[in-house]
Amino acid sequence: RKEVEQDPGPFNVPEGATVAFNCTYSNSASQSFFWYRQDCRKEPKLLMSVYSSGNEDGRFTAQLNRASQYISLLIRDSKLSDSATYLCVVNPGGAFSGGYNKLIFGAGTRLAVHP
Amino acid sequence: DGGITQSPKYLFRKEGQNVTLSCEQNLNHDAMYWYRQDPGQGLRLIYYSQIVNDFQKGDIAEGYSVSREKKESFPLTVTSAQKNPTAFYLCASSDRQVRNQPQHFGDGTRLSIL
């Protein structure tokens, strides 16, 4: 089983639609969670961190379900500019040669928003 | 402007040649990382460094080497032993002193074989 699993998509949605992505992780001790956005042939950029209580940033809402070991990203009122690949990223926790910031990246979910 | 600078943007390697990818950051981060991304796949960790003069192998270190002589710089050498080097290489950094921090990326180097 992969450490972080995502549906690769693509999710093809019209402008204005609401779309949700899920991501599952295998290590129940995982400590922190992030969503990154990656445009075609570009570097990943941090979209938002995911907190236990859930958090919202404008049209984007992230949720964490520790019991079921999944995180989700909801995008409301989709824009053409939201078209990208969304990477689910997990910090598995524990010592990492003395550091804390090892990250495991999912392969990404592709979103295509059309007019 | 604080950030991570990778160079060159595109690089071509001849058979049997070693090539070096540059990564410089002015974010004052202790930790730096090198990843490789192949089409349709997630990022895979090649090497990481938590502090100057120290670095550790990641999941796919074979055929690669690194150095960390300065806090700001973490160059990656792709050696001739790496038989399939064509990929998108990404350098990242994070604040090691703070737990659970995200990593921030440079804009990457695309390496191809001639």
In this predicted model, what pLDDT tens digit does every residue of A28-67 receive, in sequence order? 888 889 999 999 999 999 999 998 888 999 999 999 999 9
Nearest to B42 among A42, A45, A106 (CB): A106
| A100–B104 CB contact, under 8 Å | no
pLDDT at A98: 45
* C-beta of residue A50 within 8 angstroms of C-beta of residue A63: yes
pLDDT at A96 over 90: no
The pLDDT of residue B65 is 97
Checking if the pLDDT of B1 tops 90, the result is: no
pLDDT at B97: 64
Distance CA A30, CA A23 (A): 13
Q: How far is A100 from chain B (nearest CA, A)?
A: 6
Q: So what's the pLDDT on residue A101?
A: 64
**In this predicted model, what pLDDT tens digit does every residue of B10-63 receive, in sequence order?**
999 888 899 999 999 999 999 999 999 998 888 999 999 988 999 999 999 999
Name the one residue in this structure whose structure tokens are 């999710």.
A11
Helix (H, G, I), strand (E, B) or coil at B17: coil
Q: What is the mean pLDDT of chain A?
A: 91
pLDDT at A99 over 60: no
DSSP symbols for A14-35? ETT--EEEEEEES-TT--EEEE
Give CA–CA dist A81/A15, Å, rounded: 10
B40 at interface of A, judged by CB pairs closer than 8 A? yes
Q: Which residue of A4, A44, A97 is in closest CB contact with B105?
A: A44
| A97: chain B residues, CB-CB within 8 Å | 50, 56
Band of pLDDT at residue A97, cut at 50, 70 and 90: very low
User: How many Cβ contacts (< 8 angstroms) between chains A and B?
Assistant: 58
CB B105 within 8 A of CB B90: yes
Dump pLDDT digits (tens) for B75-109: 999 999 898 999 999 999 998 766 677 899 999 99
Smallest CA–CA distance, residue B66 to chain A, in Å, is 17
Q: Chain centroid to CA B98: how far?
A: 21
Burial B83-113 (b: 16+ CB within 10 A, else e): eebebbbbbbbbbbeeeebbbbbbbbbebee
